[in-house]
Amino acid sequence: MRSVVAVTERVVETPSTVTLRFPYPAAVDPGQFVMLWLPGDDELPMSLSYTDGPSKGVTIKAMGETTLRAQSIRTGDRVGVRGPYGNHFDTSPKRVLIVSGGSGAAALAPAAGRARAAGSSVTVALGATRAAELLFRERFRAMGARVEVATDDGSEGTKGFVTAVAERLLSSEPFDAVWTCGPEVMMKKVIVAAKARSVPVFCSMERHMKCALGMCDACAIGPYHVCVDGPVFPAPRIENLSDFAAFHRDSSGRRVPL
């Protein structure tokens, strides 16, 4: 189902991420995505970073020319929204560890919100290149989640990869589930660390998308399509696929190393 809506709010979250809010009354679950149409330009798969209430939102990371143009959309500009598509996080576990790399927090924050609202405890291992790029740190804190930070340059929290923080948390505390989104190499490390402690991991995957309906095959990963079988995958479904943390497909369907 496609609709055209006017953007009601634009928020610069970090130097490389911008949130657009728009009215979208459809019921949505955390983890689902929409196809965001920039009329006359392109249409992009975007995880919904705000899923509750009549106003939804997407948080766009500057990756290339198209995402930069998407970030330049202003309040009042009209965009197309097609969806919602895909599956979602099961927000019922009572003790959740979130591991977020870069803009991965966009897909994870609404799931954390639902879990907190249901009374679950949420711990967030939040990773970014530098302090200024930590996405939704205050939002996570405001919902009552504990946030443990890692930055590549050490400008805040632990210096180095967020996976080190995740491993430390996993080895010292019990968790019922791990939710992760970010670079696949990071998610692969998270899977290994959690598996050693028998904690189930759910990964939100990103792939090039065109139809979002399970037709065009652009987002194929192993026997799955991220648009309809995901974007949230339990680790056992993807951890041994030759594509995972190895390659994705570009617009032509050609394999491109990650």
Partner 1 sequence: MAELAVRCAGVSLRNPFLLASGVWGESGESLAGAWNAGAGGVITKSIGSAVRPGYPNPTIETYEHWGLLNAMGLPNPGIDEYPREIEIARKAGATVIGSIFAGDAEEFARLAVRMAATGVVALELNLSCPHAEGFGTEVGGTPGDVEKVVRAVTKVVTIPVIAKITPNTGDPAGLALAAERGGAAAVSAINTLRAIAIDVHLRRPVLSHGLGGLSGRAVKPVGLACVWQIFEKVKIPVIGVGGIASAQDALEYVMAGACALEVGTQVTFDGVQVFGTLARDLSRLLDELGFSRVEDAVGVAHRTGSAPPDGSPRPLR
Burial class (CB in 10 A: 0-12, 13-18, 19+), 64: exposed
* Rounded least distance, CB 258 to partner 1, Å: 16
* Burial track 30-47 (b if 16+ CB lie within 10 A, e otherwise): bbbbbbbbbeeeebbbbb
Binding segment for partner 1 (CB under 8 A), chosen from 91-99, 115-123, 150-158, 244-252, is 244-252
- Give the residue, chosen from 65, 72, 253, 258, that forms a contact with partner 1 under the rule CB under 8 A: 253
Of 44 and 126, which CB lies nearer to partner 1 in the complex structure?
44
Of 162 and 220, which CB lies nearer to partner 1 in the complex structure?
220
For residue 60, the tally of other CB atoms under 10 A from its CB is 25
Alpha-carbon span 169 to 124, nearest angstrom: 10
* Rounded least distance, CB 44 to partner 1, Å: 7
Binding segment for partner 1 (CB under 8 A), chosen from 7-15, 141-149, 176-184, 243-251, is 243-251
Of 4 and 132, which CB lies nearer to partner 1 in the complex structure?
4
Locate 124 and state its tokens: 């967030």
Report if residue 228 touches partner 1, rule: CB under 8 A. yes
Residues 6+ away with beta carbon under 8 Å from 27: none
Burial class (CB in 10 A: 0-12, 13-18, 19+), 241: middle
Report if residue 173 touches partner 1, rule: CB under 8 A. no
- Give the residue, chosen from 138, 153, 173, 217, that forms a contact with partner 1 under the rule CB under 8 A: 217
* Rounded least distance, CB 255 to partner 1, Å: 7
Alpha-carbon span 238 to 200, nearest angstrom: 13
Site string for partner 1, 12-51 (x = CB under 8 A): -----------------------x-x-xxxxxx-------
* Rounded least distance, CB 135 to partner 1, Å: 25
Residues 6+ away with beta carbon under 8 Å from 40: none
Binding segment for partner 1 (CB under 8 A), chosen from 51-59, 92-100, 147-155, 218-226, is 218-226
Orientation of helix 184-195 relative to helix 162-172, angle to 10°:
20
